[in-house]
Structure 1
Amino acid sequence: MSLEAQYLANKLAKGFVGTNQIESNSRLCMASAGTGYKLSLGADGPPGSYRDFEKADVFFVIGSNTADCHPILFLRMMDRVKAGAKLIVVDPRRTATAEKADLYLQIKPGTDLALLNGLLHLLHENGHTDPDFIAAHTEGWEAMPGFLAEYPPATVAEITGIPEAGIREAASLIGRAGEWMSLWTMGLNQSTHGTWNTNALVNLHLATGAICRSGSGPFSLTGQPNAMGGREMGYMGPGLPGQRSVLVDEERAFVEELWELPPDTLRKDGVGQGAVEMFQKMADGAIKACWIICTNPVASVANRGTVIEGLEAADFVVTQDVFAETETNTYADVVLPGAMWTETEGVLINSERNLTLASPATDPPGEALADWQIIARVACAMGYEKGFSYESAEDVFEEIKRAWNPKTGWDLRGVTYERLRAGSVQWPAAREEGPDRNPIRYVDRDGELSFPRASGRAVFYARPHIPAAEMPDDDFPFVLNTGRLQHQWHTLTKTGKVARLNKLNPGPFVELHPQDARELGIVDGDAVEVASRRGRAVLPAVVTDRVRPGCCFAPFHWNDLFGDCLSINAVTSDAVDPVSFQPELKVCAVGLAKVSSPRRPCPSPSSRLRSSTCTDH
């Protein structure tokens, strides 16, 4: 969705319909990082820029297969590595990124907090912190040394499964680095304690002073186009435009004035607890209707059975997409034809706060319209012409600029469509005559640093290691990790139609460690049933030591449109949703004689079964 569409969806829902039940794809990927940034630094979003890649001496990549999922940034990183920078990679699976690492730490899933605390323990012990920075720009450090005493290297090695020597080497590389960056995505975010993971990672930067300067900083790699812009528009949970919240009285009043609404129009109650809970409310009858725009929740939201149950129970389901055939459209009463970003005009913001204007390369087919136009037309048909009679996307953008926020530094006032037609602009951009690049946040013209909190200081949070919400047991002894492949994208509505990409990544699979495969009598190519407490899939086996013993990996791209029993859904975060990053699974061989005939058939999407949970073994 463009910035303009995200803004209008939120304006219609919160300002005019009067509901705070609005969620977004960011809940599935970036909610934990955004919430963690807000707690630690005072505002959402990375404090640095892609330019930092050219100056970093050490890259600490954790929970991110950057090579496959952010290939352009990976190439920039590798250029710097070739120039002498060191690369540390932390991942349960030996990914393409890990293959290029100077130091690869194969961590037990769900133990990231123990590792991050252990690294800070060693930085403190070895004298590699920056006391002057801590004293001048942070608060909360006084509690940290005592807390960190619980995470000596031997203890951390036992918890994480990483050799003590590897933990010490990582701490030494970070501690001796002149500048260092941390990069992460879903491996930290999609967790019952994803927000804490971000806090603990930011702690490392605050302790070393490696933040808000060129070449250093905590950099969350956004997983979707314009997810950063959507977070700025407040299009999930309690958000309001300009990094505001309905939970704050003065911020509600500001937006009511912006939208020309009477005082106390915006509600501060009824804020949902995330996407999973929203579909549960739908299944329970508390939510009667839904409008799904530019997303495919049947294929991508955790607790898939609940999503389907909710859509079946709803009185009215509207979907809005550029593709007619999606898993979610199966459940729609009305499907509205949206235009692609190549067919319309609108602003997109990437994870380094860079604004780009998408211009149409061709006209939209048939009656398809830009998402912002559809939202505005529906709003007008509901009687809200005064708030939604826009002539162009540019008109919407000009209104968005009025939501600038001096508290957080979010500022687009110096950006215009005319300026963007000449090139992209990175916010904060207060003046049209200002620079196009503004790579470092929170530092003023005089080089003074002030974080967007009342004290002007960032905060250390002592975040203890806690186990995942579900741990392996006798019934479900394996941990399944999910992720992307290099040549496929999300739920395949785009890349699944490209023959060349389907030759490169032709289908789903499940990776098993050779030790586990031997014990289960599984060989390469066997059809393997993967069953959790929430569902099941039947996938061909790939036996490889890329994964740890006791761990499996399956990509999440393939779903109902490509065959039965292929769904491995993405999961959500602790920012609101109590869903574990590691759904513990059991794996059993189906047997060579039954490769194409699993023990029990998988439900067809057209059957609309309420649950696909496997219970027969």
Structure 2
Amino acid sequence: MMTTHKVKSVCPYCGVGCGIVLEVSENRVLKVTGDKEHPTNFGRLCTKGITCAQAIAESGRMEHAYIRSARGVEPRPFGIDEAIRETAKRLRAILDEHGPDAISFYVSGQMSLEAQYLINKLAKGFVRTNNIESNSRLCMASAGSGYKLSLGADGPPGSYQDMDRTNLFFVIGANMADCHPILFQRVLDRVKAGAKLIVVDPRRNATADKASLFMQIKPGTDLALLNGLLHLLVKNGHTDPAFIAEFTSGWEVMPSFLEDYPPDQVSEITGIPEADIRQVAQWIGESHEWMSCWTMGLNQSTHGTWHTNAICNLHLATGAICRPGSGPFSLTGQPNAMGGREMGYIGPGLPGQRSVLVEADRHFIEDMWSIPRGSLRTEVGTGTISMFQSMQAGEIKACWIICTNPVTTVPNRKNVIAGLQAAELVITQDAFLETETNRYADIMLPGALWSEAEGVMINSERNLTFMQKAVNPPGEAMPDWQIIARVACEMGFAASFTYSTSADVYLEIQKAWNPKTGYDIRGASYERLRETSIQWPCAPDSEDDRNPIRYLNNGISQNRKENADGTHPRLVFATESGKGIFLARPFLPPSEMPNSEYSFVLNTGRLQHQWHTLTKTGKIAMLNKLNPGPFIEIHPEDALMIGIREKDLVEVRSRRGHAVLPAVISERVRQGNCFAPFHWNDLYGENLAINEVTHDAVDPISFQPELKFCAVSLARCT
């Protein structure tokens, strides 16, 4: 009789962080169900979560390491030990000959916390390069930068629990129904109880279908709308002067700044009826508790950081922040993108929400890593785009890519491919053999999947979930953290990278708690996490597993502030003054607008049943049946003008490339706009790569590239 046992873990897809239970027998996952005890999903799962185990076995896994003897030839399988030694030898040779800036790392929000920590430790502390970037740069860098500027530290100040108590949801640039479906179920539960749902998007998506009011905005004009709403909140007397006076700074410049955003002008800029703008401002002003939710529609923009600042302005002005039912809540797109940001794997970051640009932060981490003061460098890169450009220019000689597929995700991929071809050494570390990026690798290292190793993931609301090992990885595949540690040891850093288990790595991470920002996982031990998920801040003696509100001035995980009169404010933000900061962010036109040659705006996004570059979901029959292939949505009047009919093949061309996609004629898109999902690429056919038609302009603060939309031409293929 076959015996089974159950193992708890976390869904490996979006940043919601749903708890799952895997039923296992004879080294196979037989069934996946939702964890009814998990505080994120209470047993609910989307189609991707239900089928997540099907990508583990018999799905083109990389079971052995591979090395190419020369560019252009087929890679040959190698033993993992030999491949690790060869990887370390070649990296060390480049480091010794060309220096630290000749080596780069491109990593992922899908890695465990332990792997993210170790690769950043290796890059910045021992290789001594700040050329480390993550695919989170493409989705969350501007939200993180915006939070830091407005509130002093990255990450939402509230929790999913706010969704169960709020009176109004303001969802902008986020298709929650398709991209965060389990969270959206919580939203709908609250809407059924009487809360209002406002949705702002250029496309009438599945989230908009459920809205109390849908605002179909012109692409790239969100900042005008956000400023216009604050203008009306001021005019309507719906701000909170007492909160502003006690907990914020910078308000004195806002009233005059906001005079430039009266509703009639905002309506003209955004294309939203003035009556709707006034209605939304009235609803927000009259809602005792309200929360905003946003993601890539705002983040993937040349003004992405400013969008987050403008949302924080709204919450600071109304006092709707750091209390149950209210707050600005950015939604993440990967299962551990939040953890990676906390480990500092983008740009100048250091573990515990620190930065190489701050001397005290450098000294803390240098002492923690037992390296000499002055080891951490302050020269930082300028983002993902520039990293691949530096490869193309020959300045970066080596790139180690872990758990991500940049040939299909980084904008203007011709530059990415050229960079990988120009580099002397390209290392990829992946769970799957056939990916677009692996085609350019000199060395390929086999990583274990989430269910094949122990580790921690942190979701959008700062909730830590422990991934129990369910099955053994195939062949010689091993956990990402272990490969990183072994390569580091072979490079000569064994004294600082010898770990027996992932628990040893995690114990080191716990030392990085930060009393300035309130980042604290000291009380979230492996032992406690095996029993329940835990939301930080979590101090050593804390008995609570839910800590939904940040910036409480209780002196537990944050330094306690005392006013000159001896009183203690209720809240202390992580800024130098301890106050939230109003930032006047003027509306500027998008970096790329339609013209006579490229007269349409192309928007991109996810579909409900597929994920990222299909390395997992593309191997699951049920999901492929639900979302079988790419397409482009075109408004009926535009289709009539061009002579395009349903299912016709359409050439979509931008200044940088082109794709050929079947037409879907739909009123979901605005006239003059079109929409295409970004999932399908080279492995599924020619001319499907939508990232060819996105562009590489960047937000000057966060260096996040413009990915959501660009100007294109459309033509029926003959």
* TM-score normalised by length of structure 1: 0.95
**Letter paired with 1:487:** H
Match of 1:490 in 2: 612
- Distance in 1 between residues matched to 2:430 and 2:169, nearest whole Å: 38
What displacement does 1:580 show? Answer: 6.0
C-alpha distance after superposition, 1:157-208 (max 9, x if no partner) = 0000000011011101111001001000000000000000000011000010
SS in 1 for 2:269: helix
Matched, 1:587 2:709: no
Match of 1:161 in 2: 271
Match of 1:19 in 2: 129
SS in 1 for 2:661: strand
Match of 1:531 in 2: 653
- Distance in 2 between residues matched to 1:579 and 1:188, nearest whole Å: 10
**Letter paired with 1:261:** I
- Distance in 2 between residues matched to 1:174 and 1:439, nearest whole Å: 22
Match of 2:438 in 1: 329
Match of 2:584 in 1: 462
- Distance in 2 between residues matched to 1:272 and 1:507, nearest whole Å: 37
Q: Which residue of 142, 145, 170 corresponds with 1:60?
A: 170
Contact 1:192 1:581 in 2 (8 A): no
Matched, 1:421 2:548: no
**Letter paired with 2:118:** L
Match of 2:36 in 1: none
Contact 1:232 1:242 in 2 (8 A): yes
Aligned counterparts, 1:259-408, within 5 A: 259-269=369-379, 271-408=380-517
SS in 2 for 1:235: coil
- Distance in 1 between residues matched to 2:601 and 2:330, nearest whole Å: 25
Q: Which residue of 546, 566, 585 corresponds with 2:668?
A: 546
What displacement does 1:571 show? Answer: 6.8
Q: Which residue of 251, 274, 281 corresponds with 1:141?
A: 251
**Letter paired with 2:413:** R
C-alpha distance after superposition, 1:405-437 (max 9, x if no partner) = 011100111111100000001000012443110
What displacement does 1:139 show? Answer: 0.6
Q: Which residue of 623, 627, 636 corresponds with 1:514?
A: 636
Match of 2:323 in 1: 213
- Distance in 1 between residues matched to 2:129 and 2:576, nearest whole Å: 30
- Distance in 1 between residues matched to 2:708 and 2:620, nearest whole Å: 30
- Distance in 1 between residues matched to 2:414 and 2:609, nearest whole Å: 28
**Letter paired with 2:376:** L
Would the alpha carbon gap of residues 571 and 38 (structure 1) be closer, same or farther in structure 2, given more than 3 Å must change? Answer: farther
- Distance in 2 between residues matched to 1:313 and 1:110, nearest whole Å: 35
Match of 2:33 in 1: none
5+ unaligned residues in a row in structure 1: which ranges?
592-617
What displacement does 1:226 show? Answer: 0.5
Contact 1:426 1:436 in 2 (8 A): yes
- Distance in 2 between residues matched to 1:282 and 1:577, nearest whole Å: 18
Would the alpha carbon gap of residues 87 and 571 (structure 1) be closer, same or farther in structure 2, given more than 3 Å must change? Answer: farther
C-alpha distance after superposition, 1:422-454 (max 9, x if no partner) = 000100001244311000000134881111112
**Letter paired with 1:65:** N
**Letter paired with 1:579:** E
Match of 2:207 in 1: 97
- Distance in 2 between residues matched to 1:565 and 1:87, nearest whole Å: 38
Would the alpha carbon gap of residues 135 and 64 (structure 1) be closer, same or farther in structure 2, given more than 3 Å must change? Answer: same
Where do 4+ consecutive residues of structure 1 move more than 6 Å?
none
Match of 1:615 in 2: none
What displacement does 1:579 show? Answer: 3.4
Match of 1:565 in 2: 687
- Distance in 2 between residues matched to 1:294 and 1:433, nearest whole Å: 34
Task: Name the stretch that deviates more: 183-192 or 570-579.
Answer: 570-579
- Distance in 1 between residues matched to 2:134 and 2:543, nearest whole Å: 32
Contact 1:13 1:20 in 2 (8 A): yes
SS in 1 for 2:663: strand
C-alpha distance after superposition, 1:106-158 (max 9, x if no partner) = 00000000000000000000001000000010011111110101000000000
Match of 1:450 in 2: 572
SS in 1 for 2:492: coil
Contact 2:682 2:688 in 1 (8 A): yes
- Distance in 2 between residues matched to 1:263 and 1:423, nearest whole Å: 38
Percent identity, aligned pairs only?
68
What displacement does 1:493 show? Answer: 0.4
Alpha-carbon RMSD across the aligned residues, in angstroms, is: 1.1
- Distance in 2 between residues matched to 1:195 and 1:580, nearest whole Å: 14
Contact 1:35 1:195 in 2 (8 A): yes
**Letter paired with 1:273:** T
Contact 1:523 1:543 in 2 (8 A): yes
**Letter paired with 1:368:** A
- Distance in 2 between residues matched to 1:264 and 1:371, nearest whole Å: 29
- Distance in 1 between residues matched to 2:277 and 2:312, nearest whole Å: 18
- Distance in 2 between residues matched to 1:449 and 1:500, nearest whole Å: 48
Contact 1:451 1:458 in 2 (8 A): yes
- Distance in 2 between residues matched to 1:91 and 1:433, nearest whole Å: 41
SS in 2 for 1:482: strand
What displacement does 1:13 show? Answer: 0.5
Task: Name the stretch that deviates more: 422-431 or 444-453.
Answer: 444-453
Match of 2:550 in 1: 441
Matched, 1:3 2:130: no
Match of 1:610 in 2: none
- Distance in 2 between residues matched to 1:468 and 1:263, nearest whole Å: 43
Aligned length: 590
SS in 2 for 1:257: helix
Would the alpha carbon gap of residues 16 and 551 (structure 1) be closer, same or farther in structure 2, given more than 3 Å must change? Answer: same
**Letter paired with 1:584:** A
- Distance in 2 between residues matched to 1:563 and 1:82, nearest whole Å: 43
What displacement does 1:578 show? Answer: 5.2
Contact 1:556 1:567 in 2 (8 A): yes
Contact 1:192 1:580 in 2 (8 A): no
**Letter paired with 1:371:** D
SS in 2 for 1:384: helix
- Distance in 2 between residues matched to 1:219 and 1:30, nearest whole Å: 12
**Letter paired with 1:546:** R
Contact 1:511 1:544 in 2 (8 A): yes
C-alpha distance after superposition, 1:39-87 (max 9, x if no partner) = 0000000000000011000000000000000000000000000000000
**Letter paired with 1:361:** A
Contact 1:513 1:545 in 2 (8 A): yes
- Distance in 2 between residues matched to 1:9 and 1:295, nearest whole Å: 14
Match of 1:199 in 2: 309
**Letter paired with 2:587:** H
Matched, 1:123 2:205: no
What displacement does 1:583 show? Answer: 1.3
Contact 1:140 1:459 in 2 (8 A): yes
- Distance in 2 between residues matched to 1:577 and 1:393, nearest whole Å: 31
